[in-house]
Structure 1
Amino acid sequence: MLFTKSIVQAAAALVLLSLNIEAAHVSSRATVCNGYSEFCGRSLGNITMVGTHDSYAVGVNNLATNQDYDITQQLTDGVRMLQSQAHNNSGTIELCHTSCGLQDGGSLQDYLTKVVVLLIVNIDDMPATAFAPVFEAANVSGISYQPGVSSMPASSWPTLGSLIDNGTRLITFLDNHADITTVPYLLDEFSNIWETSFDLTSQTAFDCTVNRSNGDTSTQMFLINHFLDQLILGQPVPDPSQANETNAVSGTGSLGAQVATCQSTMGRPPTFMLVDFYEYGNGSVFEVAAAANGVTYNAKAIATPITSSSSGSSSGSSSSSSNHAQALLDVPSMTLLRVAPVMIISGILFAWNLF
Structure 2
Amino acid sequence: MFLAAQVALSLFLPISSAATSGRRATTCNGFSDLCGRSYGNITFVGAHDSYAVGVNNLFTDQDYDVTQQLNDGIRMLQMQAHNNSGTIQLCHTSCSLFNGGTLQSYLQSVKSWINSNPNDVVSLLIVNSDGFAPSQYDTVFKAVGLDTLSYSPPSATTINTAWPSLGSMIDSGKRLVTFMDTGANFNSVPYIIDEFTNMWETAFDVTDTTFDCNVNRSKGDTSTELFLINHFLDKIVLGEDAPDPEDANVTNSVSGTGSLGAQVQTCVAAQGRSPNFMLVDFYEFGGGSVFQVAATANGVTYNPSTPVPSPRSTGTATGTTSSTSKPNNAISQFGVRELIIPAVLSLSLLGGWMAVL
Range into which the TM-score falls when normalised by the shorter chain: 0.7 to 0.9
Match status 1:128 vs 2:134: yes
Report the CA distance shift for 1:294/1:92 in structure 2 as closer, same or farther (over 3 A).
Answer: same
Question: Aligned to 1:281, which of 286, 293, 297?
Answer: 286
SS in 2 for 1:162: helix
Q: Which residue of 1 aligns with 2:242?
A: 237
Match status 1:43 vs 2:38: yes
Report the CA distance shift for 1:331/1:193 in structure 2 as closer, same or farther (over 3 A).
Answer: farther
2:227–2:277 contact (8 Å) kept in structure 1: yes
How does 1:141-152 map onto structure 2 within 5 Å?
Answer: 141-152=147-158
Per-residue CA shift, 1:102-160, capped at 9, x if unaligned? 11112223313322268554211122222233334555333211112111111110000
Report the CA distance shift for 1:139/1:69 in structure 2 as closer, same or farther (over 3 A).
Answer: closer
Match status 1:164 vs 2:159: no
Report the CA distance shift for 1:185/1:338 in structure 2 as closer, same or farther (over 3 A).
Answer: farther
Match status 1:34 vs 2:29: yes
SS in 2 for 1:32: coil
Read off the aligned partner of 1:243 and give its amino acid letter.
Answer: A
Rg larger in 1 or in 2?
2
SS in 1 for 2:40: helix
SS in 2 for 1:288: helix
How does 1:175-324 map onto structure 2 within 5 Å?
Answer: 175-203=181-209, 205-307=210-312, 311-314=313-316
Per-residue CA shift, 1:241-288, capped at 9, x if unaligned? 000000000010000000000000000000000000000000000000
Does 145-154 or 123-132 show the bigger shift?
123-132
Read off the aligned partner of 2:226 and give its amino acid letter.
Answer: M
Q: Which protein, 1 or 2, shows the higher relative CO under an 8 Å CA cutoff with sep ≥ 6?
A: 1
CA–CA separation in structure 2 for the residues paired with 1:193 and 1:306: 31
Read off the aligned partner of 1:45 and give its amino acid letter.
Answer: G
CA–CA separation in structure 1 for the residues paired with 2:317 and 2:282: 15
Structure 2: gaps spanning 5 or more residues? 1-22, 115-122, 322-327, 346-357
1:303 is displaced (CA, Å) by: 3.5
SS in 2 for 1:85: strand
Report the CA distance shift for 1:121/1:65 in structure 2 as closer, same or farther (over 3 A).
Answer: same
After the TM superposition, which parts of structure 1 deviate over 6 Å for at least 4 consecutive aligned residues? 315-319
1:332 is displaced (CA, Å) by: 1.4
Read off the aligned partner of 2:263 and give its amino acid letter.
Answer: Q
Question: TM-score of the superposition, structure 2-length normalised?
Answer: 0.79
CA–CA separation in structure 1 for the residues paired with 2:97 and 2:239: 15
SS in 2 for 1:115: helix
CA–CA separation in structure 1 for the residues paired with 2:339 and 2:208: 28
1:246–1:253 contact (8 Å) kept in structure 2: yes
Match status 1:96 vs 2:91: yes
CA–CA separation in structure 2 for the residues paired with 1:135 and 1:94: 14
2:79–2:90 contact (8 Å) kept in structure 1: yes
Q: CA RMSD in A?
A: 2.6
SS in 2 for 1:101: strand
1:329 is displaced (CA, Å) by: 6.7
1:177 is displaced (CA, Å) by: 1.3
How many residue pairs match? The answer is 306
Per-residue CA shift, 1:176-212, capped at 9, x if unaligned? 1111112111110001110000111111x20100000
Read off the aligned partner of 1:227 and give its amino acid letter.
Answer: F
SS in 2 for 1:210: coil
Give the fraction of aligned pairs with identical amino acids, expressed as a percent.
57
Per-residue CA shift, 1:46-90, capped at 9, x if unaligned? 000000000010011310110000010000001111001111112
CA–CA separation in structure 1 for the residues paired with 2:226 and 2:107: 27
Per-residue CA shift, 1:220-239, capped at 9, x if unaligned? 11000000000011111000
CA–CA separation in structure 1 for the residues paired with 2:314 and 2:340: 28
